[in-house]
Chains A and B, each alone.
Chain A
Amino acid sequence: MNLRTAMSTKSVKFIILVAMAVLIATASAAVYYSIIMQPSVTVTSATISFAQGNDWPTGSVLGSNSTWVSLALKAYPNATLFYDQPLNISNTDTSSHTFRLRHVTITPITGDSAVGNFTFFNFVVENTAGVAQASFNYTTTGNNWNTPATTSSITLPANTQWIIYIETKAAAGANAVTANLQISVDVTQ
Chain B
Amino acid sequence: MKVHRMWEGYSHIVCIVLTLFLMIGLFGSDVSAAAHDSLLNQPSTTIAAPPVILQSGSTGSSIIYTNNTSARTSVAAPVSADGWGTWSNELLLNSGFEMGNLSGWTAMGPAAASIGVFSATSGGDSYTQKNLRIGSYGVCTRDTPGTNDDSGTWQNVSVAAYAYAIDRGNAVINASGWLYPSEWTWDDCALIVRFYNSTGGFISAWNTTGEYGSGTAYYPKAWMLGSGYSHFTQGQLKQFGCYNYTIPVGTRTVGIQLGMGEHKAAANYCGGQADEASIKIRTKNMPTYDYVLRAVNQVTSAWNVSLQVSNSSDIYRLSNATISFHDGTSSNQITIRDGNITQQQGSLYNLPGGAGSTTYISISNLLANATGASYLFTYLQIMTPNTTTRIFYTITFEIT
A interface vs B, CB < 8 Å?
Answer: 9-11, 14-15, 17-18, 21, 25, 46, 48-50, 54-55, 57, 67-87, 89, 101, 104, 117-118, 121, 123, 164, 166, 168, 170, 172-189
Contact with A along B21-55 (1 / 0, CB 8 A): 10000000000001111111111111111110000
Is B299 interfacial (CB-CB < 8 Å)?
no
A17 vs B18: C-alpha distance when bound (angstroms):
11
A189 vs B37: C-alpha distance when bound (angstroms):
7
Q: Are B34 and A185 in contact (CB under 8 A)?
A: no
A18 vs B14: C-alpha distance when bound (angstroms):
7
Instruction: Among A17, A71, A175, A186, point to the contact of B43 (Cβ < 8 A).
Output: A71
Instruction: Among B10, B34, B67, point to the contact of A78 (Cβ < 8 A).
Output: B67
Known: A11-B4, A79-B391. A185 touches B41 (CB 8 A): yes
Is B164 interfacial (CB-CB < 8 Å)?
no
Q: Are B391 and A81 in contact (CB under 8 A)?
A: yes
In the complex, chain A residues whose CB is within 8 Å of the CB of B394: 79
A25 vs B41: C-alpha distance when bound (angstroms):
47
A54 vs B14: C-alpha distance when bound (angstroms):
60
Nearest A-chain residue to B379, judged by Cβ: A80
Instruction: Among B40, B43, B389, point to the contact of A184 (Cβ < 8 A).
Output: B40
Is B162 interfacial (CB-CB < 8 Å)?
no
In the complex, chain B residues whose CB is within 8 Å of the CB of A164: 41
Nearest A-chain residue to B21, judged by Cβ: A25
SS of A interface (majority): strand
In the complex, chain B residues whose CB is within 8 Å of the CB of A185: 38-41
In the complex, chain A residues whose CB is within 8 Å of the CB of B45: 73-75, 118, 121, 168, 178-179, 181
Is B393 interfacial (CB-CB < 8 Å)?
yes
Q: Are B36 and A78 in contact (CB under 8 A)?
A: no
Instruction: Among B4, B46, B388, point to the contact of A75 (Cβ < 8 A).
Output: B46
The residue in B39, B44, B389 that gathers the most chain A C-beta atoms within 10 A of its C-beta is B39
In the complex, chain B residues whose CB is within 8 Å of the CB of A48: 37, 39
**Nearest CB of chain B from residue A173's CB, rounded to whole Å:** 5
In the complex, chain A residues whose CB is within 8 Å of the CB of B51: 76
Q: Are B70 and A78 in contact (CB under 8 A)?
A: yes
Q: Are A79 and B38 in contact (CB under 8 A)?
A: no
Closest A-B pairs by Cβ, 9 of them: A84-B388, A11-B4, A71-B43, A185-B39, A79-B69, A172-B66, A77-B67, A189-B35, A183-B41
Contact with A along B267-295 (1 / 0, CB 8 A): 00000000000000000000000000000
B103-152, CB < 8 A from A: none
Is B184 interfacial (CB-CB < 8 Å)?
no
Q: Are B39 and A68 in contact (CB under 8 A)?
A: yes
**Nearest CB of chain B from residue A156's CB, rounded to whole Å:** 12
Q: Are A183 and B388 in contact (CB under 8 A)?
A: no
6 cross-chain CB contacts under 8 A: A21-B17, A54-B387, A75-B47, A79-B50, A81-B389, A81-B390
A189 vs B39: C-alpha distance when bound (angstroms):
12
Known: A67-B39, A84-B390, A184-B38. A21 touches B14 (CB 8 A): yes
Q: Are A78 and B392 in contact (CB under 8 A)?
A: no
Q: Are A177 and B46 in contact (CB under 8 A)?
A: yes
A27 vs B394: C-alpha distance when bound (angstroms):
77
Known: A11-B3, A78-B67. A67 touches B43 (CB 8 A): no
Is B11 interfacial (CB-CB < 8 Å)?
yes
A14 vs B12: C-alpha distance when bound (angstroms):
11
Q: Are B11 and A82 in contact (CB under 8 A)?
A: no
A21 vs B15: C-alpha distance when bound (angstroms):
10
Q: Are A83 and B389 in contact (CB under 8 A)?
A: yes
In the complex, chain A residues whose CB is within 8 Å of the CB of B390: 81-82, 84
**Nearest CB of chain B from residue A155's CB, rounded to whole Å:** 14
In the complex, chain A residues whose CB is within 8 Å of the CB of B87: none
In the complex, chain B residues whose CB is within 8 Å of the CB of A17: 14
Is B65 interfacial (CB-CB < 8 Å)?
yes
**Nearest CB of chain A from residue B356's CB, rounded to whole Å:** 19
**Nearest CB of chain B from residue A48's CB, rounded to whole Å:** 7
In the complex, chain A residues whose CB is within 8 Å of the CB of B38: 184-187
In the complex, chain B residues whose CB is within 8 Å of the CB of A83: 388-389
Is B7 interfacial (CB-CB < 8 Å)?
yes
**Nearest CB of chain B from residue A103's CB, rounded to whole Å:** 11
Nearest B-chain residue to A184, judged by Cβ: B38
Known: A77-B69, A82-B391, A84-B388. A181 touches B14 (CB 8 A): no
Q: Are B42 and A181 in contact (CB under 8 A)?
A: yes
The residue in B18, B42, B43, B48 that gathers the most chain A C-beta atoms within 10 A of its C-beta is B43
**Nearest CB of chain A from residue B305's CB, rounded to whole Å:** 13
Q: Are A14 and B65 in contact (CB under 8 A)?
A: no
Nearest B-chain residue to A86, judged by Cβ: B389
A186 vs B391: C-alpha distance when bound (angstroms):
31
Instruction: Among A49, A104, A175, point to the contact of B47 (Cβ < 8 A).
Output: A175
In the complex, chain A residues whose CB is within 8 Å of the CB of B3: 11
The residue in B38, B41, B48 that gathers the most chain A C-beta atoms within 10 A of its C-beta is B41
**Nearest CB of chain B from residue A130's CB, rounded to whole Å:** 11
Q: Are A10 and B4 in contact (CB under 8 A)?
A: yes
Q: Are B46 and A183 in contact (CB under 8 A)?
A: no
Q: Are A188 and B36 in contact (CB under 8 A)?
A: yes
A187 vs B46: C-alpha distance when bound (angstroms):
28
7 further A-B pairs in the complex, CB-CB below 8 A; given A10-B4, A84-B390, A186-B36: A14-B7, A69-B41, A79-B393, A118-B47, A164-B41, A184-B38, A189-B35
